[in-house]
Structure 1
């Protein structure tokens, strides 16, 4: 097998590369499968106000937007990226253990923020190692990444079962077990030496040279980031709301799992969809569906209604993600890829932190009706996406027509 043009061929890949990376992907997803749905429930058991819950969830998002690129640069400059995984997993485990004996707002805020800082680079660095395997040895990325999504679903379902038995008390012990697996997985991660290309998160959150002149790309990323951020109130308060409506822990876990499953299914068929629909169609349609999703959420839908609504995550996240990544590839040179992805990471992190913070106030003032505000956020994102499509250049440098059919 020959190396891609412009790259130097290496000796063979590390032994069992695909299997080892698949395991490494599973470890952080075991943590996320507990933390994303159920950590707000644990915060609620501490009798925190809605505003305090919003702050605890939002502050780490802001901080890690700035610290993750630093970790990425360190990972790119040391001998092997996998060493950062060991550090990240061990420090995250230490903060998880410290949280076990913490109950008050300020200590929880400080420790959870520290956890956000040290845990932030784990999954992106795993992604970077996997992508190096794709470039050097032509491995199939989806075969490795799929197992992480499956681990998230399994973790969420187990978390829901445990929540039904132990309530919010199960959250921190389950997260701690998950962090133990991140440390163990870090030691089996393939060592492939110093990277040839920078990790996307290692780019500082500033616009790469020349991107300011490509306003359609900037507006597209800003719009897509706003639509992604419209999920902020859902991640912060949906599990609390569903619990108050009488849904069991298993049902809550299933509702979160079906969203991830729909996302995975979309990624599986995305290549076929891209042959039938333009990338702009995917982004615009996903943004419009997000508006509908948050308008419908406050209504009494029952379990099966929310199950159907959760399936729309395939469009409100996956379709937009595929569309944005495809447009970045079409519009930007390869040497600008890392810095552009870093900028997109920055936009997503800042907007998600802002909506999560505001959701604390919205939930305190309006309860479930606060989700209408998230539909407004998605609408703003859709406006920017449509504006981006309208100002895209008639032709790219390669001569291809970029005015795609909708």
Structure 2
């Protein structure tokens, strides 16, 4: 228990992290609203969070390059995340103070997943860990967190959202204090060179990839920032909203579980087309209805709009030259899943304040544009989809 095997350490740490993330992602906008923050400022604050995580993953994360540094780094950033979550309860609820704690929190929060994934990959490469099985516990914890906090907040009010997230981070921090057996030790005496990001940004095929995945994943910005507010305004309690978010993650997990059976032999172009069509249908439905049957369909489509696009993106990265893989992974997490969603979240806040649910039609248009972008994809077909097993982790 106090010196767990790699599977126990990684799966339990991810459970604490994703429990907290299952609270943060669906309900933080509701907490901001409960502090009297306007919809436009909620969008700005959520966008600042995404942008800060982007900067952290481009600047801070790559500097922790030795495997021996991963465990101390995870302990410190988990401790810092716990402190800065708690700080939300202590500051004055004005935009400047909320923006300050948002930046501090996301600077520490942003690197948690790439660093814990790096730790997992260290053990995977040594045959000590099945990443998919370990990662599954994080998915389950996300569902538990998003379901539980909705019920708790409906009983005790908006501040219960912060307290519940804090409980998840404290759990992750306590679990991180244990030493896995064996400890992560690098087999190399010198650090690997840092990936050359700038050179990739001059490659037209990489730019098309980043634009395409940005359109698909960026279309989720209004959903991340305002779906909970939208559904609450339609009369649904926090508990129901939590169940709806959990349903979306269940859809994603099931799609990952069966993706090898369903998608082997499909080209990346086909996967991106399926996901783009899903974007058009999902956000068009979101703008059109708040009926229960419609909401269930909308959330079941999360596997199509997020997971299939993620599968295709990971496969694109894996099929690129080995020298480009690390840099592409960094760009994927920092730009489409970070900076662009940050920008679109801010835009969505402005749009939601002006047009309400009609802002989701703008998200649907992004799927239409994505249909017309063609990648210079590898000729080989997808053969190992099961490697793409991660939730929204940016």
TM-score normalised per structure 2 = 0.89
Corresponding position: 1:345 with 2:316:
no
Q: Are 2:68 and 2:184, in contact at CA under 8 Å, matched by a contact in 1?
A: no
Q: Which residue in 2 is equivalent to 1:335?
A: 323
Relative to 1, partners in 2 of residues 1:63 and 1:193: Cα closer, same or farther, differing over 3 Å? same
Q: Which residue in 1 is equivalent to 2:269?
A: 280
| RMSD over aligned Cα atoms | 2.3
Equivalent-residue separation in structure 1 for 2:67 and 2:265 (angstroms): 43
Matched ranges for 1:12-91 at <5 A: 16-77=5-66, 79-91=68-80
Q: Which residue in 2 is equivalent to 1:135?
A: 125
Equivalent-residue separation in structure 2 for 1:274 and 1:292 (angstroms): 20
Q: Are 1:232 and 1:359, in contact at CA under 8 Å, matched by a contact in 2?
A: yes
Equivalent-residue separation in structure 1 for 2:341 and 2:267 (angstroms): 27
Equivalent-residue separation in structure 1 for 2:7 and 2:65 (angstroms): 21
The offset of 1:245, in angstroms, is 1.0
Equivalent-residue separation in structure 2 for 1:119 and 1:199 (angstroms): 24
The offset of 1:375, in angstroms, is 1.2
Unaligned runs of 5+ in 2: 383-394
Q: Are 1:285 and 1:315, in contact at CA under 8 Å, matched by a contact in 2?
A: yes
Q: Are 1:89 and 1:183, in contact at CA under 8 Å, matched by a contact in 2?
A: yes
Relative to 1, partners in 2 of residues 1:401 and 1:62: Cα closer, same or farther, differing over 3 Å? closer
The offset of 1:163, in angstroms, is 1.7
Corresponding position: 1:370 with 2:370:
no
SS at match of 1:192: coil
The offset of 1:122, in angstroms, is 0.8
Q: Are 2:234 and 2:290, in contact at CA under 8 Å, matched by a contact in 1?
A: no
Q: Are 1:262 and 1:311, in contact at CA under 8 Å, matched by a contact in 2?
A: yes
Equivalent residue in structure 2 for 1:162, among 121, 135, 152: 152
- Note the alpha carbon deviations across 1:81-132, whole angstroms, 9 max, x for none: 1111111111111112221122222101110111001111111111111112
Matched ranges for 1:177-256 at <5 A: 177-188=167-178, 190=180, 191-194=183-186, 203=195, 205-208=197-200, 212-213=202-203, 215-256=204-245
Q: Which residue in 2 is equivalent to 1:313?
A: 302
Q: Which residue in 2 is equivalent to 1:8?
A: none
TM-score normalised per structure 1 = 0.86
Equivalent residue in structure 2 for 1:326, among 310, 315, 318: 315
Q: Are 2:285 and 2:294, in contact at CA under 8 Å, matched by a contact in 1?
A: no
Equivalent-residue separation in structure 1 for 2:129 and 2:279 (angstroms): 34
- Note the alpha carbon deviations across 1:135-154, whole angstroms, 9 max, x for none: 11163211000000000001
- Note the alpha carbon deviations across 1:312-345, whole angstroms, 9 max, x for none: 0111011111112112222x12232101111112
The offset of 1:277, in angstroms, is 2.7
SS at match of 1:298: helix
Relative to 1, partners in 2 of residues 1:268 and 1:52: Cα closer, same or farther, differing over 3 Å? same
Q: Are 2:43 and 2:349, in contact at CA under 8 Å, matched by a contact in 1?
A: yes
Equivalent residue in structure 2 for 1:117, among 107, 118, 122: 107
Q: Are 2:84 and 2:104, in contact at CA under 8 Å, matched by a contact in 1?
A: yes
Q: Are 1:69 and 1:203, in contact at CA under 8 Å, matched by a contact in 2?
A: no
